């Protein structure tokens, strides 16, 4: 649940921060310039959301398995 909220929050921040943002680089030696613009599409936002959910699941799986195997008293002593 918290991973979904974090993923949705990150998706919203990325959309409002990077959508339509333009940048450019300039090479003073050859006087060439490269310009580019970021566009956050709905498909890209959904892919990022799924990636955030997967990272949250993988990152929380091993600690939760370890905690499930510990006796309660041992787990509380480690705090």
Between residues 79 and 13, which one has the greater pLDDT? 13
Q: What is the pLDDT of residues 7-42, one digit of tens each?
A: 788 888 888 888 888 989 988 888 899 998 888 888
| 8 A C-beta contact, residue 35 and residue 23 | yes
Report pLDDT for 1.
65
Percentage of the chain exceeding pLDDT 70: 95
| 8 A C-beta contact, residue 22 and residue 35 | yes
Question: What pTM does this model have?
Answer: 0.60
Report pLDDT for 79.
67
Report pLDDT for 74.
83
Token pair, residue 68, equals: 């499930």
């Amino acid at each position: 649940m918290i991973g979904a909220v974090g993923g949705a929050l990150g998706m919203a921040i990325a959309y409002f921060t990077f959508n339509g943002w333009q940048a450019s680089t300039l090479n003073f030696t050859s006087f060439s310039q490269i310009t580019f613009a970021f566009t956050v599409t709905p498909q890209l936002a959904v892919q990022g959301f799924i990636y955030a959910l997967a990272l949250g699941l993988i990152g929380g799986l091993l600690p939760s398995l370890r905690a499930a195997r510990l006796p309660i008293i041992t787990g509380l002593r480690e705090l």
